[in-house]
Amino acid sequence: MTELKNDRFLRALRRQPVDRTPIWMMRQAGRYLPEYRATRKQAGSFLDLCKNAELACEVTMQPLRRYPMDAAILFSDILTVPDALGLGLYFEEGEGPKFRKTVRSEADLAGLNSITAEDDLGYVMNAVSTIRQELNGMVPLIGFSGSPWTLATYMVEGGASKDFANVKGMAYDKPELMHGLLSLLADAVADYLSAQIRAGAQAVQIFDTWGGSLSAGGYKEFSLKYMQRIISRLQSDAQTQDVPVIVFTKGGGQWLNAIAGCGAQGVGIDWTTDINAARSQIGDRVCLQGNMDPTMLFASPARIREEVAAILAGFGHGSGHVFNLGHGITPGVNPDHVTAFVEAVVELSPQYHQSS
């Protein structure tokens, strides 16, 4: 493989010295970019775009042509695994993801397909190797998956949910069934991330978008435990053990201490967490990733720069910070505001990395 020309992101995840704070953005390949919207139109549906390796590679590269990002992230969806398990993923315009089938009983669970990521999610591995080749060592490539709990919420509810009544009802009333589903998903996700790494991913992120809907106890029992299992599977395999893992639980700020102990090298924090307090609490054990409010990108470039300065100062001196938003970028953002955001990180962060 080609040597990596920019390894700032991987060094920060390992808390090794860097010249400046690395940056990438969750959903950096996405609807706020006109070139993305053009490619998406060309592809047809969102899923068609995910399944076409050349076009998925094209949209992955688009933000890198505009901004000096320190990592690329695979263009895909968090729900590819449940789709392969046989639930029938589809998207209704303006309504988010839906499944044709749900999992609410032992019979539903038993009826899921047996899958291997390499065979049944081959289109994702094609995208990973195509992107890796196209990157040609420019920056590292991040692979990803939804967390078992997050996947389970969609699989039980049949789509997005406001109050998670069905999936939480199952967790509370049929814990064995829920643990059965989560175990199956943890194995499938570990296999999926492992296959992405073998195909070329140089770091992986587990998106736990809905872990924050649980109680403190429920989070540890139904979400964190299964992410821990995935990480320990990756770390016990010589082919995957050196690849850093980032865990991002939206709304998980109260549980940072527990999350920092799950084995991940990086912990994503959303914008509600004070990064200074987070570093005081756990920053020497893991790398922190985040955490500007995505809505700040609607403010003026000058205000964005102020906020970047405040977050950099909040984290303070030394390595172990990957700059990011606290959640995915919002579709309506002006791409020029992203320029101001990334430039601020590039220009203001070196002072925090000078050796004293």
Residues of the shown chain interacting with a copy of itself in the complex, contacts defined by CB under 8 A? 163-165, 168-169, 172-173, 212, 214-219, 251, 253-254, 271-274, 277, 293-296, 298-300, 303, 307, 310, 326, 330, 332
Which of residues 113 and 254 has its CB atom nearest to a copy of itself in the complex?
A: 254
Whether 293 and 260 have beta carbons less than 8 Å apart is answered as no
* Catalytic (active-site) positions: 27, 31, 40, 77, 154
To a copy of itself, the closest distance from the beta carbon of 184 in angstroms equals: 23
CA dist., res. 75 & res. 230, Å (int)? 21
What CA–CA distance (Å, rounded) separates 37 from 28? 13
Rounded to whole angstroms, how far apart are CA atoms 256 and 43? Answer: 40
Task: In angstroms, give the least distance from the CB of 299 to a copy of itself.
Answer: 4
In this complex, which beta carbon is closest to a copy of itself, that of residue 152 or of residue 204? 152
For residue 354, give the nearest of 319, 321, 323 by alpha carbon. Answer: 319
Query: What is the CA 221 to chain-centroid distance, rounded?
Result: 21
Q: At what angle do helices 275-282 and 301-315 cross, to 10 degrees?
A: 20
Of 13 and 282, nearer to a copy of itself (C-beta) is 282
Locus of tokens 């990592």: 71
Compute the least distance from the CB of residue 162 to a copy of itself, in Å. Answer: 9
CB of 84 to a copy of itself, least distance (A): 29
- Given the complex with a copy of itself, which of 183 and 272 has the nearer CB atom? 272
Least distance in Å: CB of 265 to a copy of itself?
Answer: 23
β-bridge mates for residue 23, sequence order: 323
Nearer to a copy of itself, 107 or 302 (CB): 302
Output the CA angle 124-130-134, nearest 5 degrees: 145
- In the chain, the N- to C-terminal Cα span, in Å, equals 36
178 is written with which tokens? 């829920």
